[in-house]
Amino acid sequence: MSEARGEWILCMSTYEKGQAFMRQCAAMGCRVLLLTLEKHRHADWPHEALEEIVYMPGGLSQEQVTNTVTWLARTRHFERLIALDEFDMETIAHLREHMHIPGMGRTTTSHFRDKLTMRFEAQRAGVLVPEFTPVHNHDDLRAYMENVPGPWVLKPRAEASAIGIRKVHSPDQLWPILDQLGDLQSFYLLERFVPGQIFHVDSITSERQVVFTSVSQYGKPPMQVMHEGGVFTTRILNRDSHDAVELVRINQHLIPAMGMVRGVTHAEYIRAEDGRYYFLEVAARVGGAFIADVLEQATGVNLWTEWARIEVDAMRGVPYELPVPREEYAGSVLCLARTAEPDTSMFQAPEIVYRMKKHHHAGLILRSGDPERIRELLDDYSQLFAREYLAVAPPPLKPTA
């Protein structure tokens, strides 16, 4: 542990996550205050690493959260404000500007939160994006649908993952949906549905340079798993493969162009049937669904820990140094389970390094020096998971974790 310095860092999260981030800040001598919701009072927070925890009731307005944080700041000098969850990013960006604390402001935050804004920014950076249009002017929508062949996807601009996305096959199907949305329709965009293979690229950026990148491929597209049910898989690609090399190149150009100075990002791209790579979305956060655990198993790099190191090093004017990553491979298989505590002991491959412990979920993480071995195991295990454990629930309208 480094010599204690005592700088205050406020971390905000409306979900239970980010424990490794807070532990690393404390290990580097910072005083960490966690601001979270009352319903998470008994969550598994790293109390040994926290100076304080402040619990808020749910549903507070931005003004009420601002009043809470500025009241806390009367007796604590906050050097950094951190949103551990994607849905707190706008609030924290507002607070940084309001309190003149360094970090990503509201405009840059929108590049990583607003799906419409990020498309314009990616397009401006020269990255391919499926044809899209705002849901503002109805004549523009009619012209778009006349010129861009369907099907299309109607996407909420500010949700995460595949939540709230609807596939639309004809104009006659779209107009009733927009009528139902009413005044909320401007918070959506319409985009051409592009079939293909979907990848996620997880990165660390320090002082506008992407210093770590890992390219992975989903099994079934996340939107399909979310809406139709099924088994979720992801695996790190062979680093010498064409897909990995091309996506590293695209991502290293795109992330700084979007305005990222320092932090972590989780981006998604699709390789369409024409062989070209299209940008889908990017978030300034650690990927969910145990993606960070998969990356750590393969590389030894913990995204939460390194994000904390980057923030504290920048705060102190110290150059950040990435630990030397391992070059193994890993993947995961995960599904909603019919039973509360599913038993995965029937799976005994030596490549299994982690068995997920999550209520009504079955999941494994696998590691090997051979990326093909990971692919083979996931192909096999995804079929067995579907048979042994899989439960299907309606897609959530709002995030649940």
Distance from C-alpha of 364 to C-alpha of 347, rounded to nearest angstrom: 9
Do residues 254 and 269 make contact, with C-beta atoms less than 8 angstroms apart?
Answer: no
Residue type, 15: Y
Distance from C-alpha of 67 to C-alpha of 399, rounded to nearest angstrom: 26
Domain at 8-103, CATH from 3.40.50.300, 3.40.190.10, 3.40.50.20, 3.40.50.2300: 3.40.50.20
Residues in CB range of 268: below 8 A, 6 or more apart? 198, 199, 200, 201, 280, 281, 282
Residue 304, beta-bridge partner list: none
CATH T-level fold of 131-192: Dna Ligase; domain 1 (3.30.1490)
Residue type, 210: V
Burial status of residue 393 (CB atoms within 10 A of its CB: 0-12, 13-18, 19 or more): exposed
Token digits of residue 147: 């010129």
Domain at 196-388, CATH from 3.40.250.10, 3.90.850.10, 3.50.50.60, 3.30.470.20: 3.30.470.20
DSSP 220: S
- For each of the chain's 401 residues, which pLDDT tens digit applies? 344 568 999 999 999 999 999 999 999 999 999 999 999 999 999 999 999 999 999 999 999 999 999 999 999 999 999 999 999 999 999 999 999 999 999 999 999 999 999 999 999 999 999 999 999 999 999 999 999 999 999 999 987 656 789 999 999 999 999 999 999 999 999 999 999 999 999 999 999 999 999 999 999 777 666 656 689 999 999 999 999 999 999 999 999 999 999 999 999 999 999 999 999 999 999 998 899 999 999 999 999 999 999 999 999 999 999 999 999 999 999 999 999 999 999 999 999 999 998 889 999 999 999 999 999 999 999 999 999 999 876 655 555 55
Query: What is the model's pTM?
Result: 0.92
Token digits of residue 65: 């959260």
**Domain 8-103 matches domain 196-388 at the CATH topology level:** no
| Sequence ranges of the domains in the chain | 8-103, 131-192, 196-388
